Chain A
Amino acid sequence: MPLAAPSTAPLHVGEPSKIATRQAYGEALLELGNTQDDVVVLDADLSGSTKTKAFGKAHPDRFFNLGVAEANMIGTAAGLACMGKVVFASSFAMFATGKAWEQIRQSVCVPDLNVKVCATHAGLTVGEDGKSHQMLEDITLMRVLPNMKVIVPADAVEAAQAIRVAYETPGPVYVRLSRASTPVVMGEDYKFELGKGAILRQGTDVCIAACGVEVAEALIAADLLAAEGIQAQVLNLASIDPLDEALVAQAAETCGAILTAEEHQTRGGLGDAVGQAVLRHKPVPVDMAGMDGQFGQSGTAEQLIAHYGLDGASLAKRAKALISRKA
């Protein structure tokens, strides 16, 4: 008997509104703080940008600005976690995971402490700030760490849920958030689960597996491909670690080829994670859209996404080339 086709996750209906995932983070954090006394929030002089400021205003007794000192912020978070707090620590992804990687490893991940690193301004869509601020290696740096869970929400709906899941999941969690306002793709009744990917669109010719802002681009690519009679399956793999390996294996089986998409280095990023899963379970041709060993540059988010081949049209083109490699 053939397996029942897995159902697709609810998608946003109607004209997509645009909200930044960092905005959703700030709101979700405030809400969480209103009901959960053990939530403590730390920031490093970027609370307006990371959106932790709202929590700080509502709960000044549980909000601490550590100044421009990210390593100390992470260490302080570890100490607070030792005293029973659930600590959310925020800065830009560049500094939270780059400057403080060693502290995240030694003081948070080694002792498996309840610290949630929620970093904003990740990826190319930071835009005009350029190379120094476009963090393109954070997924790699975080997913390589034992005990760390890595979530890259596709949109504001998923980001809000990821914050709740991060709170409820014991131990270290990394949530990757972006600066730019991006389309809401997930439906209101979508439910994010750690370790579970979501099928957003059924298809059998090729699978496009994406995370973060690239999920919306993957859906555009699937529309473009459909116009040419190609049915692309679209996956949202927000939970990068743990990865939904069963879903990836199933996609490999059904579609015979997988294209990954991320605004991040493919080395160590989603591309690598999916590649490993495919190699382990069901080797099929894989291509990886993302940054291929280069830094970004200044520009608008939209310009950069197109320039580096991460817009829907580029993904569609790449997917077609991949189909020709299918056995």
Chain B
Amino acid sequence: MVLNRERADAIRATAHQVREDVVRMVHAAKCGHPGGPLGMADFMATLFIEHMQLTPENLHTPERDRFVLGNGHTCAGYYALLAAQGIIPREELMNFRKMGSPLQGHPHRNATLGIDFSTGSLGNSLSGASGMALGARLNGWDTRVYSASSDGESQEGQIWEAATSAAHYGLSNLTVIVDFNNIQIDGEMRQVMNVRDLREKYEAFGWHAVDVDGHDVVAVDAALCAAKDETERPSAIIAHTHLGKGVSFMEDQPGWHGVAPNDEELEQALAELEALQP
């Protein structure tokens, strides 16, 4: 079923909120990674609101869905979404990356904040998510496990070890969404180390895989629905995105992978986002 107008608008509104939070959080921290989470906001909001439905009420339900953020450096957006879901207190967001805050510079597993896995070292995520999917199946739960990854993380060999084993064990309850923005720290991914066509690669590894426009919440929702219909294969959604989406001077600029905006840049970013308010 196609996502109706009202729900699509609700997702867009949350994605917008996440973008504002991200630039504010990274600015307040004076360091961090704004570009990735701005690009991921639309598909992440679709996943969290429409599919995972993680709420304070079901947070401690063992059978609930799980999430692993493989590109852990993009966690500002993840925390902002958990705040939007009422799980992380909003006031905590501004303590991101600060001494004493549970909102570490990269995600650290925390049961009360709904952070299901520790990440930060690229490459480890899909193995952990596969283990969770396997564990859910052993427990007889219909839990779905979602993992976000990136084109950069796909350069790590362990991702392909996990892609092999997840297909081998038929983990149809596992879905990975890859933030494919052609950017990593040292520049354009295709120039640094081209991972080529990830849809074809995942297919060759025995996965159900699709390409989508990662900013089209209706298309992302449809891909997530299709993943749920899979009964034998894990699913990979290659989400094509623009790093820094919504802030013109950050868009597609490798320099904004991991730099905080200064006061002026924050003002401009917020003004631009304001103008885009859905």
Identify the A interface with B (CB < 8 A): 40, 61-62, 64, 66-67, 69, 71-85, 102-103, 106-107, 110-111
Contacts of A69 in B (CB 8 A): 158, 161, 164-165
Q: A64-B169, A111-B118 are in contact. Are A78 and B128 (CB under 8 A)?
A: yes
Inter-chain CA distance A78–B129, complex, in Å, is 9
Task: State whether B117 touches A82 (Cβ < 8 A).
Answer: yes
Contacts of A61 in B (CB 8 A): 138
**Which single member of B62, B109, B165 contacts A84 (CB below 8 Å)?**
B62
Task: State whether A79 touches B117 (Cβ < 8 A).
Answer: yes
Minimum Cβ distance to chain B for residue A146 (Å): 13
Task: State whether B121 touches A106 (Cβ < 8 A).
Answer: yes
Task: State whether A83 touches B164 (Cβ < 8 A).
Answer: no
Minimum Cβ distance to chain A for residue B120 (Å): 7
**Which single member of A66, A75, A83 contacts B139 (CB below 8 Å)?**
A83
Inter-chain CA distance A78–B130, complex, in Å, is 10
Task: State whether A111 touches B108 (Cβ < 8 A).
Answer: yes
Q: A82-B66, A84-B139 are in contact. Are A75 and B120 (CB under 8 A)?
A: no
Q: A69-B165, A72-B158, A102-B121 are in contact. Are A107 and B127 (CB under 8 A)?
A: yes
Identify the B interface with A (CB < 8 A): 62, 66, 108-109, 116-121, 123-124, 126-136, 138-139, 145, 157-158, 161-162, 164-165, 168-169
Task: State whether A106 touches B117 (Cβ < 8 A).
Answer: no
Minimum Cβ distance to chain B for residue A187 (Å): 38
**Which single member of A62, A71, A76, A107 contacts B138 (CB below 8 Å)?**
A62
Task: State whether B161 touches A72 (Cβ < 8 A).
Answer: yes
Contacts of A40 in B (CB 8 A): 135, 138
- Name, among B130, B138, B169, the residue most crowded by chain A CB atoms within 10 Å (CB to CB): B138
Q: What residue in chain B is nearest A78 (Cβ atoms)?
A: B128
- Name, among A62, A72, A103, the residue most crowded by chain B CB atoms within 10 Å (CB to CB): A72
Inter-chain CA distance A71–B129, complex, in Å, is 14
Task: State whether B134 touches A64 (Cβ < 8 A).
Answer: yes
Q: A78-B128, A84-B139, A107-B124 are in contact. Are A71 and B158 (CB under 8 A)?
A: yes
Task: State whether A76 touches B127 (Cβ < 8 A).
Answer: yes
Task: State whether B127 touches A75 (Cβ < 8 A).
Answer: yes
Inter-chain CA distance A74–B130, complex, in Å, is 11
Contacts of A106 in B (CB 8 A): 118-121, 124
Task: State whether A80 touches B109 (Cβ < 8 A).
Answer: no
Task: State whether A84 touches B128 (Cβ < 8 A).
Answer: no
Q: What residue in chain A is nearest B163 (Cβ atoms)?
A: A72
- 12 A–B pairs (Cβ distance < 8 Å), ordered by A: A62-B138, A71-B123, A72-B164, A72-B165, A76-B165, A79-B117, A79-B129, A103-B127, A106-B124, A110-B108, A110-B109, A110-B118
Minimum Cβ distance to chain B for residue A155 (Å): 33
Contacts of A75 in B (CB 8 A): 124, 126-128, 130-131, 158, 162
Contacts of A110 in B (CB 8 A): 108-109, 118
Contacts of A85 in B (CB 8 A): 135, 138
Inter-chain CA distance A30–B124, complex, in Å, is 29
Inter-chain CA distance A247–B62, complex, in Å, is 43
Q: What residue in chain B is nearest A75 (Cβ atoms)?
A: B127
Inter-chain CA distance A194–B127, complex, in Å, is 30
Minimum Cβ distance to chain B for residue A104 (Å): 11
Inter-chain CA distance A74–B116, complex, in Å, is 17
Give 14 A-B pairs besides A79-B133, A107-B124 with Cβ atoms closer than 8 angstroms.
A67-B161, A67-B165, A72-B165, A76-B130, A76-B131, A79-B130, A81-B131, A82-B109, A83-B135, A83-B138, A84-B62, A84-B135, A84-B139, A107-B118
Minimum Cβ distance to chain A for residue B113 (Å): 13
Q: What residue in chain A is nearest B141 (Cβ atoms)?
A: A83
Task: State whether B162 touches A83 (Cβ < 8 A).
Answer: no
Task: State whether A71 touches B118 (Cβ < 8 A).
Answer: no
Contacts of A74 in B (CB 8 A): 127
Inter-chain CA distance A83–B134, complex, in Å, is 9
Inter-chain CA distance A66–B163, complex, in Å, is 11
Minimum Cβ distance to chain B for residue A275 (Å): 31
Inter-chain CA distance A84–B136, complex, in Å, is 9
Minimum Cβ distance to chain B for residue A101 (Å): 11
Inter-chain CA distance A92–B255, complex, in Å, is 43
Inter-chain CA distance A103–B159, complex, in Å, is 12
Inter-chain CA distance A196–B161, complex, in Å, is 39
- Ranked nearest first, the 8 interchain pairs of A and B with the lowest CB-CB distance are A79-B131, A75-B127, A83-B135, A72-B161, A69-B161, A76-B131, A111-B109, A79-B132
Task: State whether A111 touches B132 (Cβ < 8 A).
Answer: no
Inter-chain CA distance A184–B89, complex, in Å, is 57
**Which single member of A71, A80, A111 contacts B134 (CB below 8 Å)?**
A80
Inter-chain CA distance A77–B131, complex, in Å, is 6
Task: State whether B161 touches A71 (Cβ < 8 A).
Answer: yes
Q: What residue in chain B is nearest A62 (Cβ atoms)?
A: B138
Inter-chain CA distance A79–B134, complex, in Å, is 8
